[in-house]
Structure 1
Amino acid sequence: MNVDPTVQKRLLDLAAVDAELTRTAHRRRTLPESAELERLQVDRQARKDAAVAVEMVLDDLDRDIRKLETEVENVRRREDKDRALLAGGAVNAKQMTDLQHELESLTRRQGVLEDELLEVMERREASAADHDHAGAQLSQTEDEVVDAQRRRDDAIADLDSADTRCAADRSALLSQFPAELLAAYDRQRAKGDAGAALLQARRCGACRLELDRNEIARIAKVAADEVVRCDSCGAILVRTAESGL
Structure 2
Amino acid sequence: MNAAPADQIRLLDLQAIDSRLDQLAHRRRSLPEHAEIETVNADHTALKDLVVAAQAQLGDTTRELTKAEQDVDQVRTRAARNQQRLDSGAVGSPRDLENLQHEIGSLAKRQSDLEDVVLEVMERMESSQTRVTELTARLDHSTVVLKEAEQRRDAAFAEIDTEAEKVKRDREAVAAVIPADLLKLYTRLREQQGGVGAARLYQRRCEGCRVEFSTADLAAIKREPKDEVVRCENCSRILVRTADSGV
TM range (shorter): over 0.9
1:146-225 equivalence runs, <5 A: 146-191=147-192, 192-225=194-227
**CA positional deviation for 1:227:** 1.4
Paired position in structure 2 for 1:242: 244
Q: Secondary structure at the match of 2:244?
A: helix
**CA positional deviation for 1:25:** 2.1
Query: Is this contact kept in 1: 2:19–2:195, CA < 8 A?
Result: no
**CA positional deviation for 1:109:** 0.8
**CA positional deviation for 1:162:** 2.2
Query: Is this contact kept in 1: 2:44–2:143, CA < 8 A?
Result: yes
1:53-132 equivalence runs, <5 A: 53-91=53-91, 92-132=93-133
Counterpart Cα distance in 1 of 2:181 and 2:69: 91
**CA positional deviation for 1:145:** 1.2
1:38 equivalent to 2:35? Answer no
**CA positional deviation for 1:140:** 0.5
Moved more, 201-210 or 170-179: 201-210
Q: Secondary structure at the match of 1:234?
A: coil
Equivalent residues, number: 245
**CA positional deviation for 1:164:** 0.7
Query: Is this contact kept in 2: 1:54–1:131, CA < 8 A?
Result: yes
Moved more, 199-208 or 47-56: 199-208
1:128-147 equivalence runs, <5 A: 128-147=129-148
**CA positional deviation for 1:196:** 0.6
**CA positional deviation for 1:244:** 4.3
Counterpart Cα distance in 2 of 1:208 and 1:159: 30
Counterpart Cα distance in 2 of 1:211 and 1:115: 93
**What code does the residue aligned with 2:142 have?**
T
Query: Is this contact kept in 2: 1:33–1:155, CA < 8 A?
Result: no
Match among 232, 235, 240 for residue 234 of structure 2: 232
Counterpart Cα distance in 2 of 1:52 and 1:208: 60
**CA positional deviation for 1:28:** 2.7
Counterpart Cα distance in 1 of 2:131 and 2:195: 57
**CA positional deviation for 1:44:** 1.2
CA RMSD for the aligned pairs?
A: 1.5
Task: Using the aligned pairs only, state the percent identity.
Answer: 44
| Runs (5+) with no aligned partner, structure 1 | none
Query: Is this contact kept in 2: 1:193–1:235, CA < 8 A?
Result: no
Q: Secondary structure at the match of 1:85?
A: helix
> Deviation string for 1:38-65 (max 9, x for gaps)?
2212211111111111111110110011
**CA positional deviation for 1:21:** 1.4
**CA positional deviation for 1:5:** 2.0
**What code does the residue aligned with 1:233 have?**
C
Q: Secondary structure at the match of 2:3?
A: coil
If the length of structure 1 is used for normalisation, what is the TM-score? 0.94
| Runs (5+) with no aligned partner, structure 2 | none
Counterpart Cα distance in 2 of 1:214 and 1:40: 60
Counterpart Cα distance in 2 of 1:7 and 1:32: 39
